[in-house]
């Protein structure tokens, strides 16, 4: 049954210009890397997508290998899109990626033209789409010439299978080279997706400056550091938590007593701001215009509401910024 979208869905969301492009993205985007595979009830995934759209989240981020099993997130999303959101397709920014292992053999991984074009064709078939809005190369390939990978991205735009292209996990200098190649080909790089949070500040070492200089937007993934920057672990590791289950996204060894002490101090600052720690952590990533959007994951509707609720208090005083920096040092 087609979803009847909230008529005021665009009133509470902030939309930010993506680099020097004509495209605006919501300040909060939804990633489908968890809770949309075959191990999750489709109806739960459906409710998450409905709520996200109803609060103005127009950007939905996938990849060929999201699941589990790989490919199932795109298949389940395609089903929900057909049943719930088809009339709203032109209000959505749908992205996918290729770059990690997707199928056996030498053509199902990394960054060859063969892999990227075949992978996008498969993704479009799984989702039932004629095109994606953004197609990313998911990670650098140390063996394929950068020109080949960028020419493949340029090609899928010229084919009409993607409107824009982006990069993910590229370090600063390699990102600069890739952006320059794409510019020369006539298909500018729209966006870069780095891992960025209070606990993962690598993009500050040149990458965000390169993107700003080149007019490329950015969208931060894992802005809550795999759940570390939430109130979930203030009193240790709960038995039913991601860390306790040995998730590859959050290992118990990461939650040292030193790290937990920082989490508690940050939580105290968030409480004084009238926010949850997760909200403050998202606001911190968005604190300047070098980051276009934060990419959240969600297993519950309340997590989507919390993330969007952050926008009501996303600015920091100089004193708050200094206090946070002192904790993070």
Helix (H, G, I), strand (E, B), or coil: what is residue 225? helix
What does each C-alpha distance from 223 to 67, 149, 154 come to in angstroms?
20, 27, 29
d(CA 90, CA 93): 8
Q: Which residue in this structure is represented by tokens 């949850």?
A: 276
Provide the token pair at 281.
């952590």
The number of folded domains in the chain is 1
Q: What CATH code is carried by the domain that includes residue 49?
A: 3.20.20.100
What pLDDT score was predicted for residue 248?
Answer: 56
Q: Residue 293's domain spans which residues?
A: 15-229+276-314
> 195 lies in a domain?
yes
Strands 24-26 and 15-17: antiparallel
d(CA 80, CA 121): 19
Residue 144 lies in a domain: yes
**Do the domain assignments include residue 177?**
yes
Beta carbons of 219 and 25 less than 8 angstroms apart: yes
Q: Distance between CA atoms of 14 and 9, rounded to whole angstroms?
A: 11
Q: Report yes or no on 46 lying in a domain.
A: yes
In a domain, 296, yes or no: yes
Residue 113 lies in a domain: yes
Phi, psi for 309 (deg, rounded to 5): -65, -25
The predicted pLDDT at position 312 comes to 96
- Whether 262 is covered by a domain: the verdict is no
Condensed to tens digits (0 to 9), the pLDDT of residues 235-279 reads: 777 666 666 555 555 666 677 889 999 999 999 999 999 999 999
Given its phi and psi angles, is residue 279 left (phi above 0), alpha (psi -120 to 50 degrees) or beta? alpha
- pTM to 2 decimal places: 0.95
200 - beta bridge partners? 197
Residue 75 lies in a domain: yes
Distance, in Å, from the CA atom of 86 to the CA atom of 81, rounded to the nearest integer, reads 6
| DSSP per residue, 76-142 | HHHHHIIIIIGGGGGG-EEEEEE-S--SSSTTSSTT-HHHHHHHHHHHHHHHT-S-EEEEEE-S--S
pLDDT at residue number 246: 57
| Residue ranges of the chain with per-residue pLDDT less than 50 | none
Q: CB under 8 Å to 275, separation ≥6 — which residues?
A: 283, 310, 313
Report pLDDT for 288: 85
Both structure tokens of 244: 């306790």
């Amino acid at each position: 049954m087609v979803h009847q979208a909230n008529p005021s869905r665009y009133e509470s969301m902030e939309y930010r210009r993506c680099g020097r492009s004509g495209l605006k993205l919501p300040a909060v985007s939804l990633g489908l890397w968890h809770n949309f595979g075959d191990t999750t009830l489709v109806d739960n995934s459906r409710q998450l997508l409905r709520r996200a759209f109803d609060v103005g989240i127009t950007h939905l981020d996938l990849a060929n290998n999201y699941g589990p099993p790989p490919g199932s997130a795109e298949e389940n999303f395609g089903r929900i899109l057909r049943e719930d959101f088809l009339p709203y397709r032109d209000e959505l920014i749908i992205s996918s990626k290729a770059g990690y292992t997707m199928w056996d053999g030498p053509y199902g991984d990394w960054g060859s033209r063969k892999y990227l074009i075949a992978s996008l064709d498969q993704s479009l078939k799984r989702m039932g789409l004629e095109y994606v809005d953004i197609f990313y190369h998911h990670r650098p390939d140390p063996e394929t010439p950068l020109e080949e990978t960028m020419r493949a991205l340029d090609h899928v735009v010229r084919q009409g299978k993607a409107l824009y292209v982006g990069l993910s996990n590229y370090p600063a200098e390699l990102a600069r080279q890739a952006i320059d190649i794409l510019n020369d080909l006539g298909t500018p790089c729209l966006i870069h997706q780095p891992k960025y949070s209070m606990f993962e500040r690598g993009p500050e070492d040149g990458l965000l400056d390169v993107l700003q200089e080149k007019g490329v937007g950015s969208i931060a993934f894992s802005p809550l550091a795999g759940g570390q920057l939430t109130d979930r672990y203030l009193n240790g590791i709960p038995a039913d938590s991601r860390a306790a289950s040995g998730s590859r996204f959050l290992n118990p060894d990461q939650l040292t007593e030193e790290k937990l002490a920082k989490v508690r101090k940050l939580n105290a600052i968030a409480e004084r701001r009238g926010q949850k720690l997760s909200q403050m952590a998202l606001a911190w990533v968005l604190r300047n215009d070098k980051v276009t959007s934060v990419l959240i994951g969600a297993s519950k509707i309340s997590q989507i509401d919390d993330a969007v609720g952050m926008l009501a208090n996303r600015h920091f005083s100089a004193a708050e910024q200094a206090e946070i920096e002192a904790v993070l040092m």
